Amino acid sequence: MAPIRYIPAILLALCAGGCAPAAFDAAAESSKLSQRDADWSSLSFEGKDIDRIVSYWSDDAHLLQPGLPPIEGKAAIRAFVSASLKIPGFKIHWVSEKPVFSPDGKMAYVLSAVETTAPGANGALESTHGRSVTVWRRDADGVWRCVVDISNDAPPANDAPRASAAAQPGK
């Protein structure tokens, strides 16, 4: 009869083991997030489906663009994207680096090189180059969504060596 008293402890151990969250698989999540980011870039470049483009941001997302006040929340971001896509010739595309994850795997950030095309001061289409960092959150449904999207202009190409040297100690 003594083994019967161990049954509650065994059941508790089995439940605890079965209820434990799955271990974070960095390689699998890196692949998922990289693909999601690349799909978002392609979809944004096509510029045809505002709802799908905006779906990559979380409801509480923040968008920080050069020279603009912060754009907060999905409704405001949707209005910004809609207005951008109405600009004749507007295109945006980015290529991202490998995601960097928080230790628990619930957050990540991604650095990207961005190219935007839009009419310049003289009305002709001009392409500008920028840099961005996006902060992603893996929501309860397992989907990665962008919560912070920050962009700035890349330095002019002729300033790159000077900026690189200035960032190195002793230079």
Q: Helices then strands (H, E): number in the chain?
A: 5, 7
Higher pLDDT residue, 157 or 46?
46
Asked whether residue 43 is assigned to any structural domain, the reply reads yes
Asked whether residue 169 is assigned to any structural domain, the reply reads no
* Helix, strand or coil, per DSSP, at residue 64: strand
Asked whether residue 141 is assigned to any structural domain, the reply reads yes
Q: How confident is the model over 129-146, as pLDDT tens digits?
A: 999 999 999 999 999 999
Asked whether residue 162 is assigned to any structural domain, the reply reads no
Closest to 142 in 3D by CA, of 60, 21, 15, 48: 21
Q: Model confidence at 7, in pLDDT bands (50, 70, 90)?
A: low
Q: How confident is the model over 76-121, as pLDDT tens digits?
A: 999 999 999 999 999 999 999 999 999 999 999 999 999 999 999 9
- Look at residue 163 in the predicted model and tell me its pLDDT: 47
* Owning domain of residue 64: 24-152
- pLDDT over 70 at 11, yes or no: no
Asked whether residue 90 is assigned to any structural domain, the reply reads yes
Asked whether residue 34 is assigned to any structural domain, the reply reads yes
Number of domains in the chain: 1
Asked whether residue 45 is assigned to any structural domain, the reply reads yes
- Look at residue 94 in the predicted model and tell me its pLDDT: 97
Q: How confident is the model over 24-47, as pLDDT tens digits?
A: 899 999 999 999 999 999 999 999
- Look at residue 171 in the predicted model and tell me its pLDDT: 42
Asked whether residue 9 is assigned to any structural domain, the reply reads no
Which long-range contacts link 4-12 to residues 24+ away (Cβ below 8 Å)?
Answer: none
CATH number, domain containing residue 116:
3.10.450.50
